[in-house]
Amino acid sequence: MTKKQATKRKVKDAKPTKEQESVSEQSEQEEDEDLLQAVKDPGEDSTDDEGIDQEYQSDSSEDLEFESDEEGNYLGVKENNAEESEEDGEEEEDEEGDSSEEESEDNAETAKSEEKPSGSKAVQEPKKLIGEITPRDPSKPEYADSDTSDEEDIRNTVGNIPMHWYDEYKHIGYDWDAKKIVKPPKGDQIDDFLRKIEDPNFWRTVKDPQTGQEVLLTDEDIALIKRVNSARIPNPEHNEYEPWIEWFTSEVERMPIKNVPDHKRSFLPSVSEKKKVSRMVHALKMGWMKTTEEVERAKQQKRGPKFYMLWETDTGREHMRRIHDPVSAPKRDLPGHAESYNPPPEYLFDEKETKQWLKLKDEPHKRKLHFMPQKFKSLREVPAYSRYLRERFLRCLDLYLCPRAKRVKLNIDAEYLIPKLPSPRDLQPFPTVESLVYRGHTDLVRSVSVEPKGEYIVSGSDDKTVKIWEIATGRCIRTIETDDVVRCVAWCPNAKLSIIAVATGSRLLLVNPKVGDKLIIKKTDDLLAEAPSQDVIENERIKTAVQWSTAEAAEQEKGVRVVITHFKPIRQVTWHGRGDYLATVMPEGANRSALIHQLSKRRSQIPFSKSKGLIQCVLFHPVKPCFFVATQHNIRIYDLVKQELIKKLLTNSKWISGMSIHPKGDNLLVSTYDKKMLWFDLDLSTKPYQTMRLHRNAVRSVAFHLRYPLFASGSDDQAVIVSHGMVYNDLLQNPLIVPLKKLQTHEKRDEFGVLDVNWHPVQPWIFSTGADCTIRLYT
Amino acid sequence: MEAENGEGQVQVHLKTKQEHYAVPDVPYAIEGSVATNELNIFLNALLQKQGSDGVDFDFLVFDEYLRGRLCDHLREKAISFEDAIEIEYVERFPAPEPQDCLLHDDWVSAVKARDKWILTGCYDNTINIWTNKGKHKLTIPGHTAPIKAVDWISLDEQYGRFVSSSQDQTAMLWQWNIDSNAVECISVCKGHERGVDSVSVSPDGQRFATGSWDTMLKLWSAELEDSAEGTSKRAKESGVRTPKLTLQGHRESISAVQWIDGQTLLTGSWDHTLKVWDLNLEGIKTEISTNKSIFDASYSSLNKLIVTASADKNLRLYDSRTNQGSVVRNTYLGHNAWVQAVMWSTTEEFLFVSGAYDNQNKLWDCRSPKAPLYDLLGHGEKVLDIDWSNPKYIVSGGSDNTVRVFKSKKANVEHMETK
């Protein structure tokens, strides 16, 4: 305590009123008790209460004083008493020091009120505010409107919070319109004092802690407060001493309901309990044992704020303390009835099952059960598990061989990996049904080719004939017999010429089919009739490989016009788009296996001096002067003008069977005997853009449609598969490939199915030739 | 729930356009599960025609033939069972009877009947004339390639004139003296660059049009004397005729040509389009794009609709008057192969016949898209052409080297009289 305070107290005490003295004398006896009370209920000592108390105190109303005297436990007085007693104690100190200072009691009071702000503020209200004070109408019952606390007239909306939070602000809270409730201006002490002198009602003016306004207490209020203070029932109308109604008899009945005399232990205190209690008391004293509250508190402290597991699940892998990332043993199924030592009889193997079980000795994984159910009379008779050691050993082996490197397992839905392809329905038209079968050949049909106008087709067969068919009716218009197996036929793509190139044995026949425009037929005949004069002396190497000759009369009759005799059997013949050049392939020709013939000059060239492998097929680029040569494994693209290799495509397959180029010339389709189809985007890379494994057997032939975004493949599994192959002009967009339809109507003959496929030049129709001697049209 | 099972009753009104079969217009409540047979019995009872010799009727519910149970039909059309349903009934078209089989030496690719004569074109480059009784009258060689189409120009007591077109790029005009059974080639029409696939003579018999594989549509005079100007004398003497008009527009082979009226032509092509040509303007009047190659198209002057044949087994019905894109009015599925030929009846508004590579001819009512009225069996091979220009006979030629004649039993003449 500072000296100043001490002196203040002394000043206060220096002029005690007589009444107070008497009170102090009285209260001195009760000091202990009161102190105890004060310490016991520190919570009660809220500022509000104190404020009120102080008012009473400062009012020094005699009535109140008397009241407190009578009851002795009136809080305000009690505190006052306590203070006084304290001050009594201090008096001695004061006596020691000087005590001459005498000031007015009021000064001291004001100083005190400053210390206790909220309580005493009411006192300091300036006068002008008093007008606002609205005393409650005493005639009206307090809860006439409503008696529920919910509908209490709350002017300040800040709620039940310590009001000192607003100490530093100019406002005290907010009203219902969310406007600030301004604190009434603080008057100084002199104002306060003047009010106290002037206002007769000053003592009964209290401050509403919510609004900061002053409220004038009515007589009823004061009476109520007095009654409460004196620990009487607040309602004066209440009669404490109502006449007693005896609901239950107090007389002892003569005949009790139960006549068993009370047991002795019911009136003797239990020794064991006593012991227990004394033990517990001892434990409490020694601090071994804690009371429930202590335990509770300790728990609360220990628990701290509560957190919940958010991400980890209970099914996650458990962690082992020492072993990082353990390999847990595979989870086994829970044992069933068959595993029981005493299984129900239906689980036991009968003879047949036993035999079956024993038979699968070599492949135990095929057994239905990995053990034979056995029956024992009791658990005692169950022998030790005979395979225990072995299984432990195997587990150890497993662990030993288990890869320690952690493999990241991707959890991807298989559906997700399938690219989003358009529905085939949206990609119409494409061939869907077999429409016509062209029958007439007697051996497998190797090759088919369509007239550029799309009215006729030509087919070459192993029965040594070439047949020309009318597409629309399936009528065989002409049959041309040759001397050898017809390996390949190709209709000249130039519509102004009427020529079919027929590769039969080692001869290449240029045949005029004599169908279509008569004028063109005649012109073609004229063109092929006379050989142009040879101005260039031919190389010996070429001469030994190829001889040109005009067909003889017998063959002329059949339509054959020119014969180009090669030195080895021809496997393939293909035209250049203009119809002047054609290329032939003789797989056995070593370094002369590919030849290019020029029709107009009747000249042949051998483009390659070295053999890079067994040439399978060749192809002219539709636009550029490029030449595609497929050996067994790779495809080389040569520039025919510069005579150099442009690119080598790596197919990564064992044996190429055929290829077809997209009419725009940027995409190449390759079929292989190892069941694959490869789509090369020539601008993209030398590796396949896409590998399609649609067929179940060797793919023999592929073909692009000239107009529609379609391609087809024929395979030894007798199927023709039609696919959508859209190539976009936008170089950044990859080709779209959608398999559309599997057409499987060819019959199987000696492992062969479909040998060749070819598109109609205009319609979305496809022709396929098969080993079953037929050509089929799908529309 | 009852209605779902077809057990509920339906209110029907029976109506007909044939007055002599009319019944009072009273609503009848009948079971939803009735089919044509029960309705027939019911109707015959109403008409008081007892026994088996009652007339057979077909029933039309909302312009479509009733083929199964009435309730199924209603459900399919999404018609409430609670509405009063109008059922129109017509006398059933009697089944055509196979009458004759005319044997040829090769595939028959063209047939045309008029009055009592049947004209056929053959793959052995000959034209044949038969009577409808099956008697062979004449074989006419002349073309150097298979005949693809024939058509009558005129026919009277003494002379018959007709035109034939062939893969040898020509069409030939013939005059046939019936009495002496002698035929004379009036002229050879040269001008096409590829096979001539179709020919059609104008209604007045003055001109004919040909469609060819060279994508051209050409008009020729069908007169005895070619009056066209500019034809050289030599050409006249040699009997070679040049086209009066060449119309270019199709991108592929023209497979069907038909006159709509004196100045309008319908063509169908492999390039998936139907075109209507106005000869006065010498240009295209209407174009209908389809998504299938058209092998044959037929226009009916009775109902102004076009029916087409294509490779996908379906027959399709188009209306040339709507020219906004491809408006398929109806699709007739019944064949199970490439349909090669189709033709409307010339007297019955709703009937047409079709021939297909499944060796069948079918007789259709255009109000019955799900099933044909009758299958006309007989061919052992592909049907290449079919004709119903003589209302009494349905004639078809096929690659089994035969022409089949089916007699259409309905007394059309009588029917027309009642009309």
Residues A484-515: pLDDT tens digits?
A: 999 999 999 998 889 999 999 999 999 998 88
Taking the CA atoms of A297, A301, A302 and A305 in sequence, report the sign of the dihedral they define: positive
Residue of A154, A181, A187 whose CA lies nearest to A169: A181
Does A323 score more than 80 pLDDT? no
Residue A52 confidence (pLDDT) above 50? no
Cα-flanking dihedrals φ and ψ of residue A272, to 5°?
-65, -40
User: Which pLDDT tens digit goes with each residue over A95-114?
Assistant: 444 444 444 444 444 444 44
Q: Which of A726, A727, A697 is nearest to A713 (CA)?
A: A697
Question: Where is pLDDT greater, at A177 or A67?
Answer: A177
Cα B81 off chain centre by: 37
Q: A670, A688, A703, A694: which is closest to A769 by C-alpha?
A: A703
pLDDT at A265: 81
Q: Which tokens in the block code for residue A489?
A: 């036929």
Test A475 with B123 for CB contact under 8 angstroms.
Answer: yes
Cβ-Cβ contacts under 8 Å, B107 against chain A: 473, 475
Same domain as A367, residue A484? no
Which region, left, alpha or beta, applies to residue A729 given φ > 0 means left and ψ of -120 to 50 means alpha? alpha
- Is residue B108 a contact partner of residue B401, using CB atoms and an 8 Å limit? yes
Reported confidence tier of residue A535, pLDDT bands at 50, 70, 90: low
pLDDT at B308: 93
Phi/psi for B59 (5° steps) reads: -115, 135
- DSSP label of B163: E
Q: Assess contact for A548 and A604: CB atoms under 8 A.
A: yes
| Residue A575: inside a domain | yes
Of A476-480, A500-504, B28-32, B303-307, give the lowest mean pLDDT range: B28-32
Specify whether A434 is located in the same domain as A371.
Answer: no
User: What per-residue confidence (pLDDT) applies to A92?
Assistant: 42
Rounded Cα gap, residues A126 and A132, in angstroms = 11
Contact call for A455 and B195, based on CB within 8 A: yes
Res A58 pLDDT > 50: no
Q: What is residue A103's predicted lDDT score, i.e. its pLDDT? A: 42
- Whether the pLDDT of residue A610 is over 50: the answer is yes
Contact B291 A455 (CB under 8 A): no
Cβ neighbours of A432 in B, within 8 Å: 312
Residue closest to A537 by CA, chosen among A603, A600, A480: A603
Strand pairing of A214-216 and A486-491?
A: unpaired
Q: Select from A201, A212, A44, A194 the least CA-distant residue to A119.
A: A212
The three state secondary structure string of B225-270 is CCCCCCCCHHHHHHCEECCCEEEECCCCCEEEEEEEECCEEEEEEC
Among the listed residues B373, B338, B341, the one whose alpha carbon sits nearest the alpha carbon of residue B355: B341
Compute the distance between CA of residue A422 and CA of residue A427 in angstroms, rounded to an integer. 8
Model confidence over A263-281: pLDDT tens digits?
A: 888 888 889 999 999 999 9
Shared domain check, A216 and A116: yes
* Domain closes at, from A213, A229, A245: A229
Out of B109, B213, B292, closest to residue A455 by CB: B213
User: Highest mean pLDDT range out of A98-107, B54-63, B250-259?
Assistant: B250-259
Q: What is the rounded average pLDDT of the residues B256-271?
A: 92
**Inter-chain touch B252–A762, beta carbons under 8 Å:** yes
For B272, nearest residue in chain A (alpha carbons)? A763
pLDDT in tens, A756-778: 999 999 989 999 999 999 999 99
Segment of A3-12, A60-69, A696-705 carrying the highest mean pLDDT: A696-705
Least-confidence region, from A117-131, A684-698, B207-221, B376-390: A117-131
Which of A432, A453, A779 lies nearest to residue B213, judging by beta carbons? A453
The amino acid occupying position B98 is P
Predicted local confidence at residue B202, as pLDDT: 92
- A62-71 helix and A18-40 helix, angle to the nearest 10 degrees: 50
Q: Which residue has the tokens 């002349």?
A: B142
Q: Per-residue pLDDT tens for A580-606? A: 899 999 988 888 888 999 988 888 888
Average pLDDT of chain B to the nearest whole number: 84
Question: Among B317, B327, B354, B321, which residue's Cα sits nearest to residue B339?
Answer: B354
On chain B, the residues whose CB falls within 8 A of the CB of A473 are 107, 109, 340, 382, 384, 399
- The reply to whether A518 touches chain B by the CB within 8 Å rule is yes
Give the β-pairing of A617-620 and A626-630. Answer: antiparallel
Instruction: Report ipTM (2 d.p.).
Output: 0.88
Distance from the A433 Cα atom to the nearest Cα atom in chain B, whole angstroms: 8
Banded model confidence at residue A402, pLDDT cuts 50, 70, 90: confident
DSSP for A288-311 reads SS--HHHHHHHHHHHH-S-----S
| Confidence bin at B419 (pLDDT 50/70/90) | very low
Q: Does residue A193 sit within a domain?
A: yes
Verify whether the Cβ–Cβ distance A516 to B194 is below 8 Å. yes
CATH topology of domain B97-418: Methylamine Dehydrogenase; Chain H (2.130.10)
pLDDT 10s digits, A719-743: 999 999 998 888 888 888 999 999 9
Q: pLDDT: is A490 or B321 the higher one?
A: A490
A683 and A754 fall within a common domain: yes
In a domain? residue A330: no
- pLDDT bin (cut points 50, 70, 90) of residue A678 is very high
Residue A740 CA to residue A721 CA, distance in Å, equals 7
Q: Into how many domains does chain A fold?
A: 3
Nearest to B311 among A428, A435, A455 (CB): A435
Same domain, A486 and A618: yes
Map residue A81 onto helix, strand or coil.
helix
Confidence (pLDDT) at A182: 84
* Least confident among A109-123, A484-498, B273-287: A109-123
Tell me what the pLDDT averaged over chain A comes to. 78
Mean predicted confidence (pLDDT) in A147-167 = 73
User: In this predicted model, what pLDDT tens digit does every residue of A213-263 receive, in sequence order?
Assistant: 788 888 888 999 999 999 888 888 888 888 888 888 777 777 777 778 888
Burial of A23 (C-beta count, 10 Å sphere; 0-12/13-18/19+):
buried
pLDDT at A670 over 90: yes
How many CB atoms neighbour CB A762 within 10 A?
Answer: 20
3-class SS letters over A482-546: CCCCEEEEEECCCCCCCCEEEEECCEEEEECCCCCCHHHHHHHHHHHHCCCCCCCCCCHHHHHHE
Buried b (16+ CB within 10 A) or exposed e, A114-136: eeeebbbbbbbbbeeebeebeee
Asked if A516 reaches chain B (Cβ–Cβ under 8 Å), the answer is: yes
Any idea which of A341-350, A388-397, A529-538, A681-690 has the lowest mean pLDDT? A529-538
For residues A568 and A590, is the Cβ–Cβ distance under 8 A?
no
Q: Is the pLDDT of residue A65 over 70?
A: no
Beta bridge partners of B184: B175
Say if residues B113 and B154 touch (Cβ distance below 8 Å): no
Cα of A435 to nearest chain B Cα, Å: 6
Task: Provide the β-strand partners of residue B30.
Answer: B10
- Print the domain residue range for A181: 3-139+153-229
pLDDT score recorded for residue B81: 76
pLDDT at A72 over 90: no
The Cβ of residue A451 has, within 10 Å, a number of other Cβ atoms equal to: 23
Query: Strands across the sheet with B264-269, in order?
Result: B254-261, B264-269, B273-278, B283-289
pLDDT value, residue B72: 81
The pair of three-digit structure tokens given for residue B165, joined into one six-digit string:
């077109």
CATH class of the domain at B9-91:
alpha beta
Return the number of other C-beta atoms located less than 10 Å from residue B102's C-beta: 22
Domain end position, chosen among A229, A247, A281: A229
**Spatial separation of the C-alpha atoms in residues B223 and B173, rounded to whole Å:** 9
What order do you get walking across the sheet with B117-122 strand by strand?
B108-114, B117-122, B126-131, B136-141
Quick one: pLDDT at residue A364?
A: 83
Tokens representing A441?
């050949």
pLDDT in the model for residue B229: 52
Omega before B27 within 30 of 0, i.e. cis: no
Question: Of A41 and A358, which is predicted with more confidence?
Answer: A358
Is B107 within 8 Å of A519 when comparing Cβ atoms?
A: no
For residue B289, what are the β-bridge partners? B273
- Domain edge (last residue) among A229, A260, A279: A229
> Do the Cβ atoms of A428 and B291 come within 8 Å?
yes
* Residue A475 sits in the same domain as residue A542: yes
**E strands of B142-238, at which residues?**
147-155, 159-166, 170-177, 182-190, 196-201, 207-212, 216-221
A341 contact partners, CB below 8 Å, separation of at least 6: A374, A375, A376, A379, A382
Nearest to A518 among B169, B357, B384 (CB): B169
Range A299-316 average pLDDT: 72
User: Which of A451, A453, A469, A473 has the highest number of chain B CBs within 10 A, making it the mutation to test binding with B?
Assistant: A473
What's the pLDDT band for A612 if we cut at 50, 70, 90? Answer: confident
CB contact under 8 A, A436 and B338: yes
pTM > 0.80? no
Percent of residues, chain A, with pLDDT higher than 70: 78
Domain-embedded: residue A238:
no
Q: Cα B224 to the chain's mean position, in Å?
A: 28
Share above pLDDT 90 across residues of chain A, in percent, rounded to a whole number: 30
Most A CBs within 10 Å: which of B312, B336, B400, as the mutation test of the A interface? B312
**Alpha carbons A74 and A78: distance in angstroms, whole number:** 6
Number of inter-chain CB pairs under 8 A, A vs B: 53
| Residues A3 and A94: beta-carbon distance below 8 Å | no
Residue B200 has a pLDDT of 93
Task: Calculate the alpha carbon distances from A709 to A222, A622, A723, B215 in Å.
Answer: 104, 16, 9, 24
Distances (CA, A) of A166 to A119, A156, A157, A186: 15, 12, 13, 15
pLDDT recorded at residue B226: 62
Residues of B with CB under 8 A from a CB of A: 107, 109, 123, 146, 168-169, 193-195, 213-214, 252-253, 270-271, 291-293, 295, 311-313, 337-338, 340, 357, 382, 384, 399
| Confidence at residue A254, expressed as pLDDT on a 0 to 100 scale | 78
The count of other CB atoms within 10 Å of the CB of residue B282 is 11
Give the pLDDT confidence score for residue A332 in this predicted structure. Answer: 76
Q: A323-331 long-range CB contacts below 8 Å, 24 or more apart? A: A325/A406, A327/A399, A327/A402, A329/A395
Domains of chain B, residue spans: 9-91, 97-418
Beta bridge partners of A511: A500, A560
- What are the tokens at B212? 């060819």
Say what the pLDDT of residue B233 is: 58
- Of the two residues B81 and B189, the one the predictor is more confident about is B189
- Give me the residue from B107, B169, B292 closest to A475, CB to CB: B107
Q: Does A455 touch chain B (CB under 8 A)?
A: yes
Token pair for B44: 């015959």
> Which pLDDT belongs to residue A94?
42
Q: Is the minimum CB–CB distance between A517 and chain B shorter than 8 Å?
A: yes
Tokens coding A481: 């017999």
Q: How far away is chain B from the Cα of A778, in angstroms, using its nearest Cα?
A: 9
> Do A76 and A68 meet the contact criterion of CB atoms below 8 Å apart?
yes
